[in-house]
Structure 1
Amino acid sequence: MNISNEVRGYLKPLGESVLAILIGAFIGAIVLWLSGYDAIAAYKALIEGSFGSLGNFAETLSKSTPLILTAITFAIGARTGLFNIGAEGTVYFGAIAAVAVTQSLQNPLAGILAGLFVGALWMIPAAVLKVYRGVHEVISTIMFNWIAFYLASWLALQVFENPMNPNSTLPIPAGARLPLLVKNSTLSLAFIIAIVTAIIVYIVMWHTKLGYELRTSGLNSKAAEYGGINPRKAMIWSFVIGGMTAGLAGALEVMGIPPSYSISQGLANVYGFGFDGIGVSLVGRNHPLGIIFAGILFGALNAGATKMQQTGVPLEMVKVIEGIIIVAVAVPGLIDLFGRIFKRGGAQ
């Protein structure tokens, strides 16, 4: 049976990722064994905590939802030749926007659109600095992440604070909350929206003129410009689309996660999604469809961590094992990313 080149192109990175997962798990088992813990029992608990029941699997999918969306933010940038790490701060404003807008417009669509719009808006300054002033996106997006952290914290605890609980924002009104897919879980319609978003981004990036311009600019901006493509326009679109997906992640998180449906403890329940999304994107080889499976893997590690602790493995060791597996799985994606960057730099 003949296998097309396109299928072969997907099978190779898939095989590399599976092999990396096995290697990471093996190294993690050695670390557990050397530390005096039962590696088999720990991994069994990790799998049971992630996939052992419908409820556990629902939690895995729930925890993967924001990571899929923030990973897409990084992936779009990487495909355009950018190292956009501004998803973290954008998530905060996506969540704040959903809380603010739904207080008046008690409709889930209003919250989703608010997250998309504010997310895109927050990324524009970094895009302008990159395109028109030559400011490196790593520097600008890191700075904007900190600006977002403190500004969003102030908005959450001073402007939209809950008078019944000063450590959280006003809750999302009942009419604007996303329906749960599994009772007594945190899995909501947000997961379906994240999957659909990933598929739409795949179609845009690989089957439209805009996507072709983004990817071509990322491979070689000089050649793209020679072919009639405007690399500056491609960069701006990359920031804007990436901002939309990150803002959507924040909005969906507060609109779909019971029981509080709010931003709690400052930004505790939306903190870290943007940074974790970088790892998810690398594991998924910066491809929207690969990111779906990578996000579920990360969600499984997060969901199974509590069960793993019940075997006597302390939380710190659980995080070490998670880190080993994540680093091992991310290595092929890092090699692929830096290979493209160096190739692109040499071509210029």
Structure 2
Amino acid sequence: MANSDINIENDPPAPRKHGFPRRLTILLVLGVVLAGGTGFYVYFWLTHPIGSGPASPKVAVENYQEVWSERPVVLLGFGDSITAGFGASPGKSFFQRLLKNPEDEFQDLKEITLTRVLPNIEGINIALSGSTSLEMVDVLLPKIETYPEDTFGIVIASIGGNDVIHMYGRTPPREGAMYGATIEDAQPWIENFDTRLTHILDEISTHFPGGYHIFLMNIYDPTDGIGDVVNAGLPSWSDARAVHGAYNDVIEATCKKRDDTTLVDIYQEFMGHGIHSTQFWRSFYHSEDPGYWYYDNLEDPNDRGYDSIRRLMLNRITDVIPGKL
């Protein structure tokens, strides 16, 4: 018994099986989950791959094989930085590409320009980056010259976007700089925009006694319709979608009631190419091209975005201008 007692007392304690490995495993799993979650967030919320190649939509090139008219035509650019081409590489704004292909033009639109079908077209772009609809009345309208009766006008316009987004929450909201406004506060300004937009279009028409047509863009949404402006790096704005939507409603209604104005729907075309373009679970996800179409400042297009607007314009112009000429 004594020996037995001594043996029992001197036996080493039983090892604690798997204790350290279990903790290590848990830490490793947590690390993997954290790293994966971080990578997921960075890629799907913070990373914006632009992609490459032609943007959408496709253009019916058969409509650009024969001359539409030998008549003198003016292509007039009117509006804000989108029409001015802010952020585009040299020669790659949509306005420039309507008239002349860049050297590295995509194969599907080589030699597809308005110059090809309207050999006597002249481009004049008076658009001013940063301008609001109020400033367009005071600054841009007086710059439009009156053209001879043998000249037809094709007017390309982007109006109203800066009214909505300025001054990015840095100042209290006001008319022409509504960022942060409630829809109730903005309602009188929206009504004024309705009246002002009609005045702008009416005034443009007086400068083309030989005929004209206006192609008016609506306002796109870099948040892809979600309205999470904080994720776009801007201050919170709970009524952003409501105010933005009200302005687009005015633009669409104005186009519908005017025979001389056609809506160019960049809002819908750019949907899914904003800050959520990589999020494959969204209904707007473009699996064939999830590219980001906005410039570094968020409010203007990049080269691929300008390519898309150029294509939209070519299609809308094809719908209208050959018949009018």
Q: Please report the TM-score for the alignment, with normalisation by the length of structure 2.
A: 0.29
**Structure ranking higher in helix proportion:** 1
Q: Please report the TM-score for the alignment, with normalisation by the length of structure 1.
A: 0.28
Instruction: Flag the structure with more relative contact order, 1 or 2, with Cα contacts below 8 A and sequence separation at least 6.
Output: 1
